[in-house]
Structure 1
């Protein structure tokens, strides 16, 4: 679990996963400075905001909210709801404040139906690379249902690649990590999809909530996780600003290069003050060394 103490977790993961991941993926060992202090950092261009966090502010002032995120230092956004704007219109606003959309959450039903072509066109208009399935219908939460979804994911992912975009990504929730009839549902998607067509936007909060270990997924399935939802967990299990909760992000991110992570997207499902959450989370990620 990612909620154990920093020292215990670092010792365990460093010994059992970190070296193996680095060697297996052909990566250099973690650089250090001074007396063993970690000095790897998240690239500034990789720190983004998933816009679901900012939905109440966006509904009031879409352009102003994006401008404020850019002023804080954010480089990218994940789109989740357009608030009455077209894809072209959002792109113009983003370009104006020097933000880049990297992905958009699009419903499973839209992507598996006749709306797929338009959704991919809109991704081009946004300047984004990845279509993301934000969740699966509850009726599919069985091994058979997830195998059906895996087949659909491969088909959608192929269409995305043929359209000149990136792989289809899947965003997880806690229930996606359930074990049903002896089968881990999330693992069905990881193992039964084509790595060239399907990747994952791993929500680290929901992974931990579902008793999964993000770091071990990065090590065991290299290159499958180009984007993360970076969300922290308070001591009572609720959501927290990144860096203020219990999750050991440094230990998780130790294996991010092996996992193929390129985007670290901040998310908080119910922030009391979304701008404070955005500022606090950005400062933590920008200062983090691991």
Structure 2
């Protein structure tokens, strides 16, 4: 969806992303601190931040500054230390850390002559950090070095950073994703390569178009709101969760920091793992026999979120149907509607979504002539979806289209689905991984190509050896337990967790659904 939404700043942020703490590197507000220390601390508190990284006292004595931090409920969990102090007076660093009760000490720069940084400097820095780190460790403090880009210069088959990481026996690293990216490294690849070496992180995004270098220097105003630049913030945050990194500090060195940090917080607050659900069409043959029993079975499977199959309420009133949902701790978070209803009576779908309190409404099929799906069909669908989606958006409901395979036909230098996505002003997309893979596409590549356009997902696997097509039809008995077929379900789920996908619905259209669905649910829940 390409529409621009108004940013609403919510003061009461839950600043923990997947059990990690989101903090602030105080250097971000260096200019504000010079003018008014109390007001700047108040600003941090108003943003909902409680964990900070800093070290200086801004002209106050230590006790007065610590009292001020306490007054604003701010906890100094990490302090910065100069390389010279770590080399010549590590006891001073330890004393400062202990005075704050800080668990971490970070060093953000190793002095070197001009732009000269080679193996000699790398070895010296590694030795100093190991020596100081061992002493800090004996005092219950972890030392973390914060690379700035010059460490990513070539060395043997890797980089000088590889030398540091491989020889870091008594210190760890604080990964600044901006500076790693700027220096030519891939922050996500670094985290995967050295999963035990990173204990802290700086979250900082880089404006599109900025070309990096290995000098460790860049214009401060190249820092942009998290999620709007060229760094994979969502991916690195997701990986940080997997690695158990404790603190992720926002650092924004730009002159617009006061306006950008709230937007970055909003972005981070929106990053969450997709919730697992079930597409009720899977049980279309069971509901007519026993609605209460089928809902009870879904509850047994540990499912709470549902997407309806546009099959109504099975002769129950809406209130009776909703009562059964509530009794089984089930919530209809997405409803479906036909293309014809979206075109001719969108208010009926909207009313059903609002009756359930559903956040999404989905369309699964665009009518077309036989196996012909053309640009004209695509343009017609875009007009219908945008018109209905605009109406829905006003009521807080998001419209999503669920491609079925016929949209992957050539159009100019791309495909018709590209044309759909690029013109989706008022609608988003639900990815059915089966129907992306069936016509020969790679779902993971599409998630990466359009990381902000997919809000929902259907998880459905295909029997190994099943040939695909582009007509949107297949034998439902080719649906198998997730993880046992030819689709990379584990990889897709991992990628989805980096995106802003709300719900992943298990869908199994086979006659074996009652046996297969619980196994599929267990498979997804067991993915690390």
Q: What is the Cα deviation at residue 181 of structure 1?
A: 6.4
2:137 aligns to what SS in structure 1? helix
Distance 1:54 1:44, change over 3 A: farther
Quote how far apart the aligned CAs of 1:63 are. 2.3
CA distance change for structure 1 residues 259 and 216 in 2, over 3 Å: closer, same or farther? farther
SS in structure 2 of the partner of residue 138 of structure 1 = coil
* Count of residues paired in the alignment: 245
Structure 1 pair 220/44, CA: closer, same or farther in 2 (3 Å)?
closer
Gaps of 5+ in 2: 1-15, 211-221, 273-497, 499-528
1:104-154 deviation line (CA, Å, top 9, x unaligned):
11110111113x212211111112111111111124721122112111111
Structure 1 contact 234–240 (Cα < 8 Å) conserved: yes
Match for residue 164 of structure 1 among 119, 137, 140: 140
Tell me if 1:212 matches 2:180: no
Structure 1 residue ranges, 4+ long, deviating more than 4 angstroms after superposition = 180-183
Shift of 1:81: 3.9
* Equivalent in the alignment of 2:129: 153
* Cα distance between partner residues in 1 of 2:54 and 2:66: 11
**Alignment-derived partner of residue 275 in structure 1:** 258
User: 1:170: Cα distance to partner?
Assistant: 0.6
C-alpha distance in 1, partners of 2:128/2:244? 23
Distance verdict in 2 for CA 1:136–1:236, change over 3 Å = same
CA distance in 2, matches of 1:44, 1:128: 19
Instruction: Please tell me whether residue 51 in structure 1 is matched to residue 26 in structure 2.
Output: yes
Instruction: Answer with 1 or 2: which has the greater Rg.
Output: 2
Give 1:107's match in structure 2, choosing from 82, 88, 104.
82
1:248 aligned to 194, 216, 232, which one? Answer: 232
The partner residue of 2:111 within 137, 153, 164 is: 137
- CA pair 88-45 structure 1, distance change in 2 beyond 3 A: farther
- After superposition, residues 1-290 of structure 1 pair within 5 angstroms as 42-43=17-18, 46-79=21-54, 81-114=56-89, 116-139=90-113, 141-165=117-141, 167-180=142-155, 184-194=159-169, 197-237=170-210, 238-269=222-253, 271-289=254-272, 290=498
Q: CA separation in 2, counterparts of 1:277 and 1:192?
A: 37
Deviation at 1:85, TM superposition (A): 2.7
More helix by share: 1
Post-superposition offset of 1:87: 3.6
Taking the aligned partners of 2:154 and 2:179, their CA distance within structure 1 comes to 15
**1:164-187 Cα deviation digits (max 9, x unpaired):** 32x210111122211156651111
Deviates more, 1:239-248 or 1:175-184: 175-184
Q: Could you list the runs of 5+ residues in structure 1 that have no partner in the other structure? A: 1-40
Structure 1 stretch displaced more, 80-89 or 243-252: 80-89
Q: Distance in 2 between matches of 1:135 and 1:59?
A: 23
Task: Rate the CA distance shift 1:147–1:260 in 2: closer, same or farther, 3 A.
Answer: farther
**Deviation string for 1:12-34 (max 9, x for gaps)?**
xxxxxxxxxxxxxxxxxxxxxxx
The 1:82/1:241 distance shift into structure 2, 3 A limit, reads farther
- CA separation in 2, counterparts of 1:145 and 1:184? 13
| Deviates further, 176-185 or 209-218 | 176-185
Q: Return the offset for 1:263.
A: 1.0
**Are the counterparts in 1 of residues 85 and 92 from structure 2 also a CA contact under 8 Å?**
no
Report if aligned partners of 2:20, 2:248 keep a CA contact under 8 Å in 1. Answer: no
How many Å apart are 1:256 and its aligned residue? 1.2
- Supply the distance in 2 between the matched residues of 1:87 and 1:264 (Cα, whole angstroms): 25
CA offset at residue 45 of structure 1? 6.0
Please give the alpha-carbon distance, in whole angstroms, between the structure 2 residues aligned to 1:202 and 1:87. Answer: 28
RMSD after superposition:
2.0
- Seen in structure 2, the aligned counterparts of structure 1 residues 181 and 220 have a Cα distance that, compared at 3 Å, is closer
TM-score, scaled relative to structure 1: 0.78
